[in-house]
Amino acid sequence: MFKLEMSDATWSRLLVLRQGAGEGVPTEAAYRLYAPIAGATGRFVIAQVGQSLDGRIATPTGDARDVSGQDGLAHLHRCRALVDAVIVGIGTVRADDPRLSVRMVKGASPVRVIVDCHAELDGSESLFHDGGAPVIVFRSARAKGIVLPGAEVISLEPKACGLDPHDILDALAQRNLDRVLVEGGARTIARFIAAGLVDRLHVAISPIIIGSGPSGIALSPIESLAGAYRPVTEVYDLGSDILFDCALRPQRASGRQGQEIRVANEA
Ligand SMILES: NC(=O)c1ccc[n+]([C@@H]2O[C@H](COP(=O)([O-])OP(=O)(O)OC[C@H]3O[C@@H](n4cnc5c(N)ncnc54)[C@H](OP(=O)(O)O)[C@@H]3O)[C@@H](O)[C@H]2O)c1
């Protein structure tokens, strides 16, 4: 297991790498974890889940604010600071009314993207009024919605699966938003994984037991474990939380190969 220690100097180097400059010295755990995101070129998708020991991301009533510990939250904010856009589904906006900004670390907040297929947002949500990063809303071209304050609304022709994640990423790429964090919830992340579009999946586990409530990824049921994803995985001790860094597309993500779960031991 890698112990994550983040100094101001290392974080500054990662922010420089994010701007396309600087050279990587991938020896320390922080660089090993974040350089693939900061230094990604072209399309790169990371999904992140903050969950309890029993695999829940919220209570049955949708309370999710304190699932992750402080270091898990700092990790999430670092991920936000390293991407161009952060995507959430309408369920997350309804449950959390999130700001999706970078507050716990130095760095710019990403463009905020909401998948609102049926045009359910009513414009009262905080992120339309907080003066933060730009907001983009994806809707079905068949949905009739109201004008949302200050937001760009992109209408996509729906497919059998709803809004095709490929179409969402293509529309973002046309706006130079290539590095994307899919932050939740379970159904939105699942659609990007099922479409084969997630390069890295980060699962941060906090020592809390909720007992019931939704899980972090809502993929279609499988009959046997032979159909399960078994990504190459490295494990990081964040402090308050333990992070599983899963390479879902290893050939693009970092050169890691194979189909095994692996706990790497730092030399
Ligand atoms: N702990 C964490 O890391 C974390 C992070 C974020 C959110 N959360 C929690 O997760 C919960 C919300 O999760 P959720 O799964 O209910 O909501 P969600 O994923 O935010 O949104 C789900 C809704 O968006 C629709 N949707 C998503 N992608 C779509 C697409 N490509 N095309 C068409 N429709 C699409 C879904 O439609 P379908 O029903 O048709 O699939 C569903 O109606 C909340 O309790 C929130 O607090 C936790």
Q: Which pLDDT belongs to residue 24? A: 58
| 225 Cα: distance to centroid of ligand 1 (angstroms) | 25
Separation between Cα atoms, residue 80 and residue 157, nearest integer Å: 28
- Which ligand 1 atom minimizes the distance to the CA of 168? 31
Note the pLDDT of residue 254.
Answer: 39
- What contacts 206, CB < 8 A, 6 or more positions away? 50, 51, 52, 53, 67, 68, 69, 72, 240, 241
Task: Sketch out the chain's domains with CATH numbers.
Answer: 2-18+26-247 (3.40.430.10)
- Give the three-class secondary structure for 148: coil
**Residue to mutate (ligand 1; options 118, 161, 188; most atoms within 8 A of CB):** 188
Measured between alpha carbons, how far is 171 from 185 in angstroms, rounded to an integer? 21
Question: How much is the pTM?
Answer: 0.92
User: Positive or negative CA dihedral for 116, 122, 123, 124?
Assistant: negative
Any bridge partners for residue 159, and if so which? 162
pLDDT at 46: 98
Closest residue CA from atom 14 of ligand 1: 185
86: β partners: 112, 181
Q: pLDDT at position 21, please?
A: 81
Low-confidence ranges of the chain (pLDDT < 50): 251-267
Question: In the structure, which protein residues have their CB atom closer than 6 angstroms to any atom of ligand 1?
Answer: 49-50, 57-58, 62, 64, 67, 88-92, 95-96, 115, 117, 162-163, 165, 183-188, 191, 214, 218
DSSP letters of 7-58? -HHHHHHHHHHHTT-S---TTSHHHHHHHHHHT--S-EEEEEEEEETTSBSS
Q: Please tell me the predicted confidence (pLDDT) of residue 102.
A: 97
216 C-alpha to center of ligand 1: Å?
A: 10
pLDDT at 64: 85
**Hunting for tokens 């304190």 — which residue is that?**
66
